[in-house]
A = this chain, B = another copy of it.
């Protein structure tokens, strides 16, 4: 499941990382200061996010700046949108069914 965006977002620490980096690009060290875990643990989370392209990197000297990549987030958004759409279709069908039932009862 490597590179799976759903898997990446499942972890609460990684979601927090996404929110932080979406607000402002950051280095792993700067990022790690926001968490109680070790730098390496944060680094591993970054790797997971970078593997599925939710983060992009820009090397500046010995520092690496990580940026949020909204493109891949849309993949995630897409699933949810499709799901909602599909469910709403069914909801509309249910509405229609209720309308038809009412019409029939009017005829009787």
Contacts and interface: CB of A to CB of B under 8 A. Distances in A.
Q: How many copies does the complex hold?
A: 2
Nearest to A18: B83
A87 B22 contact: yes
Interface string A75-92: 011011001101100100
Contacts of A83: 18-19, 22, 73
Contact of A15 (B9, B79, B86, B87): B79
Interface residues of A, number: 25
- Secondary structure of the A contact surface, majority rule: helix
Contacts of A77: 80, 84
Interface of A: 1, 4, 6-7, 9-12, 15, 18-19, 22-23, 68, 70, 73, 76-77, 79-80, 83-84, 86-87, 90
19 contacts: A1-B12, A6-B9, A6-B11, A6-B12, A6-B15, A7-B10, A9-B10, A10-B10, A18-B83, A19-B83, A19-B86, A22-B83, A22-B86, A22-B87, A23-B86, A23-B90, A68-B87, A73-B87, A77-B80
